[in-house]
Structure 1
Amino acid sequence: MNVQLDQAADKKCAIFESTLKLVRVRGFHGSPMSQIAQDAGVAIGTIYHYFSSKDELLIALFDNCKQKIAKAMFKPAEDHLPYPDRFVAVWTNLVCFYIERPEILSFMEQFFSSPYAAVVYGSGCNIQMKNEMSNFLEQGIGKNHIKPLDINILTAAFMGTVTAAAKRHINGHYAFNETAMREMVSIIWDGIKR
């Protein structure tokens, strides 16, 4: 076990968590590196050791969040499920993840509403994320489980309902229990299934 590697990973994790917390409350512009360092319990120089700029930190954090989201959505134990059941599981997994980690939901929404999205995905009004989610939906189309709709439309329908459900729960407007989540995801499934 390499203690230095563990300490470096712990420091990066603390920096990421501090950034998520601050961005949720203050936004990107209201979260200076000095405050991130202070909240993370590291020296400002430590942040610049890992990230040359705040832009680099935010893009690295975005990549980190994407990995956590994919891991939460796509659980190996559910790979064997029939596609319709897996669709329900993936949707439910993501809602539950965002309810547990509202700071990640807030960060991702802010990231996609900022110029950073164009930096990561290229400019233009038709930014299509090629990721596990779009691959999963394309698989559903390819196997005739889902209507052959534009992947951007399918992703918007899927993600829009996920974020709306999670935000309503987080903000105390409605407690999404398992039954309510199944009812909500069935509306989406019924609208896109073949």
Structure 2
Amino acid sequence: MDCSDKKECREKKAAIIQATVELVGEHGFHGAPMAMVAERAGVAAGTIYRYFENKDALITGTYKDLEERLQAKVLQGFPEQGTPREKFFHFARVLVKWWIASPVDFRFVEQFHNSPYGVAQRRDKLLGKQRNLCWDIFHEALEQQGVKDLPLPILFGLTFGPLILISRDHNHGFIALDDTMIEQTIEGCWNAVKR
């Protein structure tokens, strides 16, 4: 894509991504056609195609953008030399706080992970074909025998599954998470898998 004003290009792409996140969060993938995304983003319908080849590329590109933003947040203050427990606590804390501060982002990510768009990617991450921080944390914990000898998908389910549920319940107003409750929940998740 040729764009003479780099700042304007970045702003348009960011507006398209934000519109996609919002519309998918409100209406699901099928309820967020390209024309509606363009209208919400305040760009011409054809503009989206300068950044994304088609709707599939838009959806996966939007997810990638959210994932990169999360990764940047997680790496701030990440305890590189810490124990797997310390690394997990840091990661989980950042994740839950992001999910409850940005419920629209959270809804998009949930829908992505539970759709055909996200299944192959999740499979690659869970099976270590696509290395990521979670995989590294739990692989290290398994090597050090700090967690139960279970397959990674089960370890992820026992730790991140409850965090997803409490974040969703907070966003729906069923509970009100504060820092203390977040820490206690993360502790409970870790206790579910530690040896």
Give yes or no for TM over 0.5: yes
Matching of residues 81-160 of structure 1 within 5 Å: 81-118=82-119, 120=121, 128=127, 130=130, 131-160=132-161
The alignment-based identity, stated in percent, is 27
Look up the match of 2:52. Answer: 51
CA shift, 1:80, in A, is 4.0
Distance in 2 separating the partners of 1:164 and 1:191: 15
Look up the match of 2:183. Answer: 182
- Over 3 Å counting, the alpha-carbon distance change for 1:120 and 1:109 in structure 2 is same
Unaligned runs of 5+ in 1: none
Distance in 1 separating the partners of 2:119 and 2:164: 21
Unaligned runs of 5+ in 2: none
CA shift, 1:192, in A, is 1.1
Matched residues, number? 191
2:16 aligned with 1:22:
no
Distance in 2 separating the partners of 1:75 and 1:9: 23
What is the one-letter code of the residue matched to 1:5?
K
CA contact 2:92–2:186 (8 Å) conserved in 1? yes
Distance in 2 separating the partners of 1:122 and 1:173: 31
Distance in 1 separating the partners of 2:103 and 2:75: 19
Distance in 2 separating the partners of 1:168 and 1:47: 34
- Over 3 Å counting, the alpha-carbon distance change for 1:121 and 1:158 in structure 2 is closer
What is the TM-score when the length of structure 1 is the normalising length? 0.88
Distance in 2 separating the partners of 1:64 and 1:139: 27
Look up the match of 1:68. Answer: 69
CA shift, 1:55, in A, is 0.8
Matching of residues 153-172 of structure 1 within 5 Å: 153-172=154-173
What is the one-letter code of the residue matched to 2:46?
G
What is the one-letter code of the residue matched to 1:191?
A
Q: CA RMSD in A?
A: 2.3
CA contact 1:27–1:110 (8 Å) conserved in 2? yes
Q: Per the alignment, in what secondary structure is the counterpart of residue 68 of structure 1? A: helix
Distance in 2 separating the partners of 1:6 and 1:63: 20
